Amino acid sequence: MTALEKATGDVVFKFEPFVFHVLCQELQDAQLLHSVAVNSGFRNSGITVGRGGKITMAVRSTHCLEVPLSHKGRLMVSEEYIEFLVHIANQKMEENI
């Protein structure tokens, strides 16, 4: 809270979701892993084929959180709400684990 009160610009509370990159030898391997990931709840997963044919499967969680806290140095939320956000982010981290 002390650092937040001293901020002069915009401050955003952000929690990034779990991401796991897997390099696959064959496209079929990536497709199988993608199917398993999506069916397990990792709906933001995807397959990328790079230059040179490198196949990467990304398993991505949907557990993200991004909330503005201050604007131009003015705190827009209460300390109680920030504590609530920290609690939610910690729950999301547990779900990621």
Mean pLDDT (whole number) for 62-83: 92
CA distance 35 to 65: 25
pTM for the full predicted model: 0.69
Q: Match domain 11-95 to its CATH number in 3.40.50.10140, 1.10.3720.10, 3.30.1960.10, 3.90.226.10.
A: 3.30.1960.10
pLDDT digits (tens, 9 = 90+) for 24-62: 999 999 999 999 999 988 889 999 999 899 999 999 988
> What's the first-to-final CA gap in the chain, in angstroms?
27
Which two three-digit tokens encode residue 40? 């397990």
